[in-house]
C-alpha cells in the first residue's frame, strides 16, 4: 500500500488535469482534422496564407527577443539581489514582485501613456530638443517587445534569485583562488550552475509571450497582430472556429517543441545533470 501511496495522492489532481485541460485541448485539436477537403486541409490553408505565416513569424520573433532580453536583464538583476545583504535583499525582492500585484491590462495601459504621441516619453524628447514633433512609438514591434519585457522580467528575477542564492560561495572562492578572473569565474562557474533557473525562466517567458493577447492587442494593435490576437479575431469576429482551433493547435505544438528543446539544452549545459 505504501508503494502506491504517491499514486493515490496524485490521482485526484491528475484526474482534474485530464478532465479540465487534456480533454478540452484534445477536442479542440481534433476539430481541425474534420475538413472534407482532407485531413490536414486546415493546416495547409493556414500555411498557404502569406499573411498568417507573417503573423506566426512575428509572434516567434517577438517571443524569442522578449525571452532573450528578459533573461539578460533578469539574470543581472537577480545576481545583484542574491548578493545583497539581508534587509536590502528583502526590499529588492519586494520591488521586483510589486509590478506583479497590478493586472496585465493596467500595466499595458501604462505603456499607452508612456509611448503615446502626447505621452510622457514624447513630451520629454520634445522638451529637451531631441525631436521637433512626437514620434510614432506605439503600435510597433519595439513597443510590444518593451511592454512584454516589462511584464516578464519580474518572473525571471524571482526564478533566478533562488538558483543564484544556492550556488555555494566556496565554489566561487575556489575558482578565484585557482587564478580565474571574475569574468572566467562567471562564465565557467556561475553561469553553468544557473542554467536550470535560466531554462525555467526562458520557458515561462516564452510561453507567456507566445500566447499573450492583451498586451499585443493594446500596445501593438492591428499593425502588430500576433497569434493570440489572430485566434481571437478568427473565433470572435469571423466565427471561424476551425480556423481558430487550427491556430491554437499550432501554438500548442510550437510551445511544446520549444520547451522540449530548452529542456534538452538544459541537460547538455547543466554540469549537475546526470
Q: Which of 118, 115, 124 is nearest to 146 (CA)?
A: 115
The domain made up of 40-269 is a member of CATH 3.40.50.300: no
Residue with cell 509572434: 59
Q: Which long-range contacts (CB under 8 A, 24 or more apart) does 110-117 make?
A: 111/143, 111/146, 111/147, 111/150, 111/218, 111/219, 112/138, 112/218, 112/219, 115/143, 115/146, 115/219
Number of C-beta neighbours around residue 270 at 10 A: 16
* C-alpha cell at position 259: 520547451
Task: Domain ranges for the chain, please list them.
Answer: 40-269
> What is the pLDDT at residue 206?
93
Q: CA quadruple 81, 82, 83, 85: dihedral positive or negative?
A: positive
State the DSSP H helix or E strand holding residue 6, giving kind and residue range, or none if neither.
Answer: helix 5-17
Alpha carbon distance 169, 81 (integer Å): 15
pLDDT of residue 273: 46
Q: Are 116 and 138 a contacting pair, CB within 8 Å?
A: yes
pLDDT averaged per 10 residues, the chain (length 274): 70 89 87 82 91 94 95 92 86 87 86 87 87 86 93 91 85 80 82 86 92 91 90 89 91 89 73 49
Q: Report d(CA 254, CA 245) in Å as an integer.
A: 14
Residue 270 is predicted with a pLDDT of 61
Q: What's the pLDDT score for residue 274?
A: 45
Contact between 180 and 95 under an 8 Å Cβ cutoff? The reply is no
Contact 227, 16 (CB under 8 A): no
Specify the pLDDT at position 193: 85
| Angle, CA of 175, 178 and 181, to the nearest 5° | 65
CA 211/CA 228 separation, integer angstroms: 6
* Cβ contact 189:18 at 8 Å: no
Residue 63 is predicted with a pLDDT of 94
Amino acid at each position: 500500500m505504501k508503494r502506491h501511496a504517491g499514486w493515490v495522492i496524485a490521482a485526484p489532481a491528475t484526474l482534474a488535469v485530464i478532465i479540465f485541460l487534456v480533454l478540452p485541448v484534445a477536442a479542440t485539436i481534433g476539430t481541425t482534422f474534420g475538413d472534407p477537403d482532407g485531413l490536414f486541409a486546415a493546416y495547409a490553408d493556414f500555411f498557404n496564407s502569406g499573411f498568417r505565416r507573417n503573423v506566426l513569424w512575428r509572434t516567434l520573433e517577438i517571443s524569442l527577443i522578449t525571452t532573450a532580453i528578459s533573461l539578460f536583464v533578469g539574470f543581472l538583476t537577480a545576481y545583484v539581489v542574491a548578493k545583497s545583504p539581508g534587509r536590502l535583499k528583502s526590499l529588492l525582492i519586494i520591488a521586483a514582485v510589486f509590478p506583479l500585484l497590478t493586472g496585465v491590462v493596467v500595466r499595458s495601459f501604462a505603456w499607452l501613456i508612456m509611448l503615446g504621441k502626447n505621452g510622457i516619453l514624447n513630451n520629454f524628447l520634445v522638451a529637451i530638443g531631441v525631436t521637433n514633433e512626437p514620434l510614432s512609438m506605439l503600435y510597433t514591434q519595439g513597443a510590444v517587445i518593451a511592454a512584454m519585457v516589462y511584464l516578464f522580467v519580474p518572473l525571471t528575477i524571482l526564478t533566478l534569485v533562488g538558483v543564484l542564492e544556492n550556488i555555494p560561495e566556496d565554489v566561487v572562492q575556489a575558482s578565484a583562488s585557482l587564478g580565474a578572473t571574475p569574468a572566467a569565474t562567471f562564465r565557467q562557474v556561475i553561469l553553468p550552475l544557473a542554467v536550470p533557473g535560466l531554462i525555467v525562466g526562458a520557458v515561462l517567458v516564452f510561453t507567456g509571450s507566445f500566447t499573450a493577447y492583451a498586451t499585443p492587442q493594446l500596445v501593438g494593435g492591428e499593425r502588430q497582430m500576433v497569434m493570440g490576437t489572430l485566434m481571437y479575431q478568427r473565433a470572435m469576429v469571423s466565427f471561424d472556429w476551425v480556423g481558430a482551433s487550427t491556430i491554437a493547435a499550432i501554438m500548442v505544438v510550437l510551445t511544446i517543441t520549444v520547451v522540449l528543446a530548452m529542456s534538452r539544452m538544459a541537460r547538455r549545459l547543466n554540469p549537475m545533470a546526470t
